Structure 1
Amino acid sequence: MTATATDLAAVTAELAERAEEHDREATFPHEGIALVHRHGLLTATVAQRYGGPGAGLARTVEILTALGAGDPAVALVTAMTLFTHAGQARTSSWPAPHYRQLLAESAGGPALVNALRVEPELGTPARGGLPATVARRVAGGWALTGRKIFSTGAEALAWMLVWARTDEDEPRTGSFLVRGGSPGLRIEPTWDHLGLRASRSDDVVLTDVRVPIDATVELAAPVPDARGAELFAWNCLGLTALYLGVANAARDWLVRFLHERVPTSLGQPLATLPRFQAAVGEIEARLLSAEVLVRALAAGVDAGDPESIRRAGLGKLAGTRAAIESVQDAVALVGNNALNRRNPLERHLRDVLCARIHTPQDDTILAVAGKAALARYERTSTP
């Protein structure tokens, strides 16, 4: 059973208690992941045919917004696992025995999963190209060799979907199911980032890591990042929800500060001044608009609406910009103290800026939207 709205608020509060510590020390939040697991959130998107709750994107957006407000590193790691189960609910792409094993492990404790696709030379595969990671046929299966970067939650992953190409005369690409801790697998602690420091998105180095012959997902002739429009929508809107959660946390801190700060020259809280009231109102309007948009698009995706799926990228653009601008406004209102490392706003600002780097990035979203709009004009103006 997944958490209720009241439970989510409690989870947010408990995650927030240690978020600053994990950020400062760049340590993985194992206890936060355990908390999320206890509340059934790691497996919320497991399909009902597998005995799970079968949560859709709208519920996932709600969950990730709450987790993002507490500890966005926990939210990001959770998102990767939720997206994996959601993908299996739609396509059943995992080999049945291996997915049964994942579900069995998930019943006993956190079983984190992530798709490792980014490489040093290639960058993100969304912009094209073949992986340098190679899967070589050996007796009884495959041997994988390569390096993956930005591998969120690497040290704690139970399963890694490693995107690789085969060494065949006509190479195929696909994801190979690698167990965490496999012989030949090494986590290199390279993550030293501006934000989301506790996500431990370190490098994963594979040297002849053995994988059973059937432990592959969507192994086929190479096609440009063909993971599907619906998965694209889940990534866009789910991750945007996470950063809206960060902005909500910054807004809440700002509101408390304005009530508690009483300058001696004023003799009353800053919250009583029209200038601050209007500024907070601007933040409220921006965040409300973004949250309504993201939730509406998520509901549309759940309903199979093709327009909602197509517009998910614009939802990410609008939502992440609203989150970033809101946190920046909060920092500007507080002034110099907001950038002190002891101030939560400093951490929220660093974390929310990470919204810009997730695929698809703004230039891609805008180019696709612009081309679509121009194409509509051409169709309507043709005699």
Structure 2
Amino acid sequence: MTRTSKARAHPGAAADSPAPALPPLDLDRLPELTRALAARAAEHDRDASFPDEGFALVHQAGLLTATVAPRHGGPGVGLADTVRILRALGTGDPAVALVTAMTLFVHAAEARIPAWPAGAYEDLLADSATRPALVNTLRVEPELGSPVRGGLPATTARRDGTQWVLSGRKIYSTGAVGLSRMLVFARTDEDPVRVGSFIVRAPSPGLSIEPTWDHVGLRASRSDDVLLDAVRVERADVIALAEPGAIPGARPDLTTGAWNALGLTALYLGVAEAARDWLIGFLHERVPTALGAPLATLPRFQTAVGEIDTALTGATTLVDTLAARTDAGDESAVGQAGMAKVLGTRAAINAVEQALALTGNHGLTRANPLQRHYRDVLCSRVHTPQDDSVLTAVGRAALDRHTAPKGK
């Protein structure tokens, strides 16, 4: 597919030089990419090293820009194709999948509700044409936690001429060491206070990354702390700066929330599928002396694998269906995305736990990938929306729909 981009030329380029085209999207390469990512996932997990070569492959296949809108020269894929991409990448290396997800979500939000300053987005697209231009929104702070649950960030922006000067610390900054842009959620020092996302380009003077990420799972995601010490941002490079309550701010719109919930659930279902596939291979290869046949021939193991496969198929079908309905504008599907995340991530975790129970010491041996899949799939619980928030909202809605009869 041939496409053009309106991205701004780099400094020094001729004024009439055409902007480079984004890499063509090739979804047929997903199985190949899954295998390539899986080949080095254990190494990156062991070393907690950022998988740069994995992002190079994803970039070359056009996956990092899959959700860029057609008006910007992108393919503009919807949520249904995005969950397909993230499930395949999650099967290979969930760290690559997670940072890819953050980048895809940023482009998808811009496609639906344009908010970026035109020049800043054009620059991002120009970078994306030639290299993996990873982007993530940095919101979480030591005192604040996740702003989705309320509160103003401590990270502060003050005016200085034509620039904003940012100071603060962000934690759990997924992909920090590899990001080309960080969308830093911050408050101004004005009265009244305003909040927004400030586009910090890496590297920038005053920007540093503290290697704090020492996690049980997704170790290669390098979700380190980001320190901002008087980092300067042009006043034009700010997204949705307004008084608290005037804009969604830290709370995404419902469709953005559905993309996050379904996309990330698909990623972790991919992890569980990798665990299932390893389990199936193990059961075929394992031939106890007393049995004289592979474990796969025993009804007990066949039933257990059937339970795992049934649960994963059901969860995947639910995610895929809601994603397609969301693309079609079905508001009820958007509202059910949080419930799908609860069901889907629980199915993924339970599937890997069942695989561990079936394999015993073999599953927990570091030489085998099952223990890594288990550590990675546990991370599904921490993403927004978290189970307690979803279930409380669903419970309240159900109770409101079915009030007690008068006099009871």
Q: TM-score range by the shorter chain?
A: over 0.9
Q: Which residue of 2 aligns with 1:216?
A: 238
Residue 377 (structure 1) shift? 1.2
Once the two structures are superposed, the pairs formed by residues 173-322 of structure 1 within 5 Å of their partners are: 173-223=195-245, 225-322=250-347
Question: Is 1:31 matched with 2:53?
Answer: yes
Residue 376 (structure 1) shift? 1.4
Residue 4 (structure 1) shift? 2.6
Residue 30 (structure 1) shift? 0.3
Task: Please give the secondary structure, in 1, of the residue aligned with 2:402.
Answer: helix
Q: Distance in 2 between matches of 1:85 and 1:20?
A: 29
CA displacement, residues 32-79 of structure 1 (integer Å, 9 cap, x when unaligned): 000100100000000011110001111000000000000000000000
CA displacement, residues 104-145 of structure 1 (integer Å, 9 cap, x when unaligned): 000011000000000000000111000000000001110000
| Contact residue 148 and residue 251 of structure 2 kept, 8 A | no
1:369 to 377, 385, 394: 394
- Which letter maps to 1:260? E
1:114 to 133, 136, 145: 136
Question: Is 1:143 matched with 2:165?
Answer: yes
Task: Please give the secondary structure, in 1, of the residue aligned with 2:252.
Answer: coil
Q: Which residue of 2 aligns with 1:65?
A: 87
Q: Which residue of 2 aligns with 1:2?
A: 25
Q: Distance in 2 between matches of 1:153 and 1:276?
A: 39
Q: Which runs of 5+ in 2 are unaligned?
A: 1-23
Residue 225 (structure 1) shift? 3.0
CA displacement, residues 283-302 of structure 1 (integer Å, 9 cap, x when unaligned): 01000000000011111111
Residue 265 (structure 1) shift? 0.6
- Which letter maps to 1:118? V
Question: Is 1:359 matched with 2:384?
Answer: yes
2:373 to 348, 353, 357: 348
- Which letter maps to 1:351? D
- Which letter maps to 2:75? P
Q: Distance in 2 between matches of 1:290 and 1:355?
A: 14
Residue 381 (structure 1) shift? 6.0
Q: Which runs of 5+ in 1 are unaligned?
A: none
Residue 340 (structure 1) shift? 1.2
Higher helix share: 1
Q: Distance in 2 between matches of 1:375 and 1:214?
A: 45
CA displacement, residues 255-310 of structure 1 (integer Å, 9 cap, x when unaligned): 00111111111111110100000000000100000000001111111111110111
Q: Normalising to structure 2: TM-score of the pair?
A: 0.92
1:171 to 179, 188, 193: 193
1:131 to 149, 153, 169: 153
- Which letter maps to 2:117? P
Q: Distance in 2 between matches of 1:46 and 1:4?
A: 15
Task: Please give the secondary structure, in 2, of the residue aligned with 1:286.
Answer: helix
1:76 to 61, 83, 98: 98
Q: Distance in 2 between matches of 1:227 and 1:236?
A: 11
Q: Distance in 1 between matches of 2:38 and 2:309?
A: 21
Aligned residues: 381
Task: Please give the secondary structure, in 2, of the residue aligned with 1:52.
Answer: coil
Q: Distance in 1 between matches of 2:101 and 2:208?
A: 23
Task: Please give the secondary structure, in 2, of the residue aligned with 1:364.
Answer: helix
Residue 227 (structure 1) shift? 2.0
Q: Normalising to structure 1: TM-score of the pair?
A: 0.98
Q: Distance in 2 between matches of 1:3 and 1:249?
A: 22
Task: Please give the secondary structure, in 1, of the residue aligned with 2:166.
Answer: strand
Q: Distance in 2 between matches of 1:215 and 1:364?
A: 33
Task: Please give the secondary structure, in 1, of the residue aligned with 2:159.
Answer: strand
| Contact residue 155 and residue 168 of structure 2 kept, 8 A | yes
Task: Please give the secondary structure, in 2, of the residue aligned with 1:92.
Answer: coil
Task: Please give the secondary structure, in 2, of the residue aligned with 1:45.
Answer: coil
| Contact residue 117 and residue 237 of structure 2 kept, 8 A | yes
Q: Distance in 1 between matches of 2:79 and 2:25?
A: 14
Q: Distance in 2 between matches of 1:240 and 1:218?
A: 28
Task: Please give the secondary structure, in 2, of the residue aligned with 1:175.
Answer: strand
Q: Distance in 2 between matches of 1:93 and 1:310?
A: 23
| Contact residue 157 and residue 186 of structure 2 kept, 8 A | yes
Moved more, 216-225 or 43-52: 216-225
Give the alignment's Cα RMSD to 1 decimal. 1.2
CA displacement, residues 187-218 of structure 1 (integer Å, 9 cap, x when unaligned): 00000000000000000000110000111111
1:85 to 61, 82, 107: 107
How much identity, in percent, do the aligned residues show?
64
Q: 1:382 to 1:165 in 2, by over 3 A?
A: farther
| Contact residue 163 and residue 235 of structure 2 kept, 8 A | yes
| Contact residue 27 and residue 61 of structure 2 kept, 8 A | no
